[in-house]
């Protein structure tokens, strides 16, 4: 059966439905696979069906499926493993673990990292936080702060806000017991995968409170990085404002 039968037989939901008549067929398949990921049909770290199986399921050619998977792999949502298949990316995977952290040492040498959670509490979302997370002002959020150090030198002070409805049970005690990347914990313990992010960056001067935590002088230059992370379906699930000490680091990005 030809690929042209896909739109008649499959009924993409949400954004895919609106763009079905205008997007290339492989993009429609990409949207259908993303819907499966969003529904939890394939969990982080699990293998997805083979290209042949997906081609039969969606009634398209294997080449169409391959092109869709190629784009999802380029977006770090799927990971190909030679001879084993294609797997859902996880923040426990070394390649994906730090893909949102763009700070790079000037000397290029890997640095040992450690994280100190300062506090974690439930609060009511302020108007600006609510707007960034697509919530209503006053909705419950989890508010947390941490210091990320490299080679025992405090380098990043993070303020993080999460929708309270998605992170029930996230407490300071829980975070202090957990060992591993925060995004991996969100994924494995709360079923929330951070799949892309948008950032705004500006230079600021350290306040006295920030300077004390980062062991620098008040008024020292910091790089402020405001990041909104999204899960499948472009739903915002984290607001993070980080303040970076860049005396021995630079912020690296790749533009296509």
**Domain residues for 56?**
3-88
Q: Which two tokens stand for residue 9?
A: 């037989």
Q: What is the pLDDT of residues 81-140, one digit of tens each?
A: 988 999 998 876 555 555 677 788 998 888 888 999 999 999 999 999 999 999 999 999
pLDDT of 194 > 50? The answer is yes
Q: If you average pLDDT over residues 205-217, what whole number do you get?
A: 98
Q: Specify the pLDDT at position 118.
A: 96
Beta carbons within 10 angstroms of residue 239's beta carbon: 24
pLDDT band at residue 150, thresholds of 50, 70 and 90? very high
Among the three residues 29, 53, 88, which one is the final residue of a domain in this structure? 88
Whether residues 154 and 245 fall in one domain: yes
Q: How many domains does the chain have?
A: 2
Whether residues 154 and 219 fall in one domain: yes
Q: Specify the pLDDT at position 92.
A: 67
Buried/exposed code over 96-122 (b: 16+ C-beta within 10 A; e: otherwise): beeebbbbeeeeeeebeeebebeebee
Whether residues 38 and 143 fall in one domain: no
Buried/exposed code over 28-61 (b: 16+ C-beta within 10 A; e: otherwise): bbbbbbbbbbbeeebebeeebbebeebbeebebb
Q: What is the mean pLDDT of the chain?
A: 87
Q: What is the pLDDT of residues 2-40, one digit of tens each?
A: 444 343 334 443 444 444 456 799 999 999 999 998 888
- The full 3-state SS of the chain, as one line of letters, equals CCHHHHHHHCCCCCHHHHHCCCCCHHHHHHHHHHHHHHHCCCCCCCECCCHHHHHHHHCCCHHHHHHHHHHHHHCCCEEEECCCEEEECCCCCHHHHCCCCCEEECCCCCCCEEEEEEEEEEEECCHHHHHHCCCCCCCEEEEEEEEEEECCEEEEEEEEEEECCCCCCCCHHHHHHCCCCHHHHHHHHHCCCCCEEEEEEEEEECCHHHHHHHCCCCCCEEEEEEEEEEEHHHEEEEEEEEEECCCCEEECCCCC
Whether residues 113 and 73 fall in one domain: no
Q: Specify the pLDDT at position 184.
A: 87
Whether residues 21 and 111 fall in one domain: no
Q: Is residue 94 part of a domain?
A: no
Q: Specify the pLDDT at position 241.
A: 97
Q: Is residue 112 part of a domain?
A: yes
Whether residues 232 and 158 fall in one domain: yes
Q: Which CATH number do you get for residue 175? A: 3.40.1410.10
Q: Which CATH number do you get for residue 54? A: 1.10.10.10
């Amino acid at each position: 059966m030809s690929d042209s039968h896909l739109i008649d037989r499959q009924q993409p939901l949400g954004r895919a439905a609106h763009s079905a008549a205008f997007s290339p067929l492989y993009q429609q398949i990409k949207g259908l696979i993303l819907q499966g990921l969003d529904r939890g049909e394939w969990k982080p770290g699990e293998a997805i069906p083979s290209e042949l199986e997906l081609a039969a399921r969606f009634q398209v050619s294997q080449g169409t499926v391959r092109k869709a998977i190629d784009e999802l792999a380029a977006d770090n949502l799927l990971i190909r493993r030679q001879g084993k298949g294609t797997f859902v990316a996880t923040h426990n995977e070394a390649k994906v673990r730090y893909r949102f952290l763009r700070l790079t040492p000037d000397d290029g040498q890997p640095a040992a990292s450690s994280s100190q959670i300062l506090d974690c509490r439930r609060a009511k979302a302020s108007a600006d936080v609510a707007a960034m997370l697509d919530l209503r002002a006053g909705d419950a959020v989890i508010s947390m702060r941490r210091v990320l150090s490299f080679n025992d030198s405090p380098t990043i002070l993070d303020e993080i806000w999460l929708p309270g409805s998605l992170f029930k049970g996230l407490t300071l005690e829980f975070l202090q017991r957990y060992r591993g990347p925060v995004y991996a914990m969100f994924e494995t313990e709360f079923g929330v995968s951070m799949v892309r992010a948008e950032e705004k960056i500006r230079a600021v001067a350290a306040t006295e409170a920030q300077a004390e935590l980062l062991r620098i002088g008040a008024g020292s230059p910091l790089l402020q990085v405001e990041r909104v992370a999204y899960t499948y379906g472009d739903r915002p699930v984290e607001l993070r404002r980080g303040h970076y000490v860049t005396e021995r680091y630079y912020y690296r990005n790749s533009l296509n």
